[in-house]
Structure 1
Amino acid sequence: MLTWVDGCPSETLPVQDRGLAYGDGLFETIGVKNGQPLLLARHLSRLKEGCARLALPCDVDLVHSELLRFCALIGEGVAKLIVTRGDGVRGYAPSVSAQARRILQASPWPDYPAKNAEHGVRLFSCQTRLAEQPLLAGLKHLNRLEQVLARAEWQDFEHAEGLMLDVSGRVIEGVFSNLFLIKDGILATPDLQRCGVAGVMRAELLAQCSARGITAVVRDISYAELLDADEIFLCNSLYGIWPVRALLDHDWPVGSLTRKLQSIAGDLVDC
């Protein structure tokens, strides 16, 4: 596994790193094809917003140039970019002189079963709930224990993803993906202003819908509304779109609008 720390090959980190001590940082999981990072502008935009909201000093232009060089070496695979607040002393208070640390890790392209995209997936109903914290909502920060606990709830191969609700019972997302439903030809995706991760594929699909005259709204979605949907699908920046065919004893068809958007998403993760 190729790994860089602050632009240089390395596999070690100081134990004082605040990303390790407090989860004080952000990350991006970026697909790489033909030596090029996919959806790069959206990844960098989310990173820049996250750094601003966390008051985390980071040279995004430097990250950009390092990422391009790193991806050129990978060729094809996945680049995981981690930005932490760097080293610190004991205590929560960040140092005013803290220097952001940049970590890049390469891994192979995930071998997802073709049937997930072709026939759809069964969702596991996770009992782990997402806490509401508007200050962190939407960010891909390093505190992922809720997702770790949710993913540990199932070990079988029957379920490809898990459904996560917030503590109030609203539908939010999958464990590692965003969710859309379709009802009467209108797309809806959960509002992520209280919790959840605002995925780059989610953002791109919303933009594509707007450009193509497809009605798509961002709003709160109840569990009852989810069960009453005509179509449901999941998305992320690596696999594109997976239709949802089942959750517990509920079933959905793979509809025409899902297939249309799946084709659009497929073009975005292939080059």
Structure 2
Amino acid sequence: MLLINGRYGHCIEAADRGFQYGDGVFTTLPVLAGHPIFLPLHLMRLAGDCGRLGIPFPGASVLEPEVRQLCRVQTHGVLKIQITRGSGPRGYRPTADMPPTRVLSLQEYVSQSRQASESGVRVTLCRSRLGINPALAGIKHMNRLEQILARSEWDDAFVQEGLMLDNVGSLIEGTMSNVFLVVGGRLVTPDLSECGVAGVMRSVVLELAAAGGIGTEVRRVAVDELGAASEVFLTNSLIRIWPVVALDNLGWTVGPVTQRLHGHLEARIRAETGSTA
């Protein structure tokens, strides 16, 4: 199902800058039993990303009713909200009076999170690197070519994700996820001030760790630190938490910090959906 500027449809204008240049932002979240999980956090992230790019944000008062409209029709799935700068004349320079385009889609989603969360996943180290650009760092913008190139590097069904470094060799994120390490009992995640996507689930996990008395560090992470980590896990809004058990010749167990955070996260999601399961 698709809502384009509040109306059901399947087409946007060819002159839309999201199509022409990737000039827009997006967020993706699960819908469970009619509940869009962590919707306020996703709308907050969209508003911040739009603000940094100078794209007028439609507002939560516009987007939230449209989300609820879709969720009443389809109660389970994956919701994607895209906001582009809108349609305009040819050329990179945007005009001031350009109304943004908003596209909301809700599609079926088959989750593998339960099995992966219990047994863990294998990952690979991608050759493709993330370019350093503080002006775009943290933003989930619609140009994902770096991730597409990285994800094209492997075709092994037993490898679920690829880790990406920046141009100077620091660990940044996965192709579709944020990465966490447990080092000396503390939770460490890469600093994203120069590149990478600041995921909503990343912020939730950092909040849960702080509330649970787990020390956290957001800093530059050398790829060699993976070998010293006692636990490694990945996050995004759809997979939630995936423990990493293997990377080339490195291996980890599904450790206590990962299990504890996973339990806290599941409890918070159950509370949000009103589920007792």
TM-score bracket relative to the smaller structure: over 0.9
1:229 paired to 2:229: yes
What TM-score, normalized by structure 1, do the two folds share?
Answer: 0.96
* CA distance in structure 2 between the aligned counterparts of 1:215 and 1:85, rounded to whole angstroms: 40
- Cα distance in 2 between the residues matched to 1:21 and 1:267: 42
Determine if the alignment matches structure 1 residue 11 to structure 2 residue 18. no
Identity of aligned residues (%): 43
Task: Encode CA deviations 1:214-259: one digit per residue, 9 max, x unaligned.
Answer: 1111011001112210110001111211110010111111111111
Structure 1: which 5+ runs fail to align? none
Counterpart secondary structure, 1:207: helix
Q: Does residue 241 of structure 1 match 2:260?
A: no
Say whether residues 1:25 and 2:24 are aligned partners.
yes
Aligned to 1:150: 150
Deviation at 1:72, TM superposition (A): 2.3
Counterpart amino acid of residue 261 in structure 1: L
Deviation digits for residues 143-195 of structure 1 (CA, Å, limit 9, x no counterpart): 10001111111111110110111111000011111100001210000000001
TM-score (norm 2): 0.94
Runs of 4+ in structure 1 displaced over 2 angstroms?
265-271
8 Å contact 2:113–2:239 — kept in the other structure? no
Q: CA RMSD in A?
A: 1.2
AA matched with 1:93: R
Residues paired across the two proteins, number = 270
User: How far did residue 110 of structure 1 move?
Assistant: 2.8
Distance in structure 1 (CA, Å) of the matches to 2:48 and 2:269 = 23
User: 1:254-265 residue pairs with structure 2 within 5 A?
Assistant: 254-265=254-265
Once residues 211 and 114 of structure 1 are traced to their aligned partners in structure 2, the CA distance between those partners, rounded to angstroms, is: 24
Q: Which amino acid aligns with 1:168?
A: V
| AA at the equivalent of 1:221 | V
Partner Cα separation in structure 2 for residue 94 and residue 50 of structure 1:
17
Q: Distance between the aligned counterparts of 1:171 and 1:238, measured in 2?
A: 22
Distance 1:269 1:10 in 2: 31
Aligned-partner Cα distance in 2 for 1:10–1:108: 18
The AA in structure 2 aligned to 1:132 is: I
Shift of the alpha carbon at 1:114? 4.0
Cα distance in 2 for residues equivalent to 1:223 and 1:162: 13
Superposition pairs of residues 112-151 of structure 1, within 5 angstroms: 112=112, 114-151=114-151
Whether contact under 8 Å (2:51, 2:57) holds in the other structure is no
* Structure 1 residues 231 and 34: CA distance shift in structure 2, 3 A: same
Say whether the 8 Å CA contact 2:111–2:239 is kept in structure 1.
Answer: no
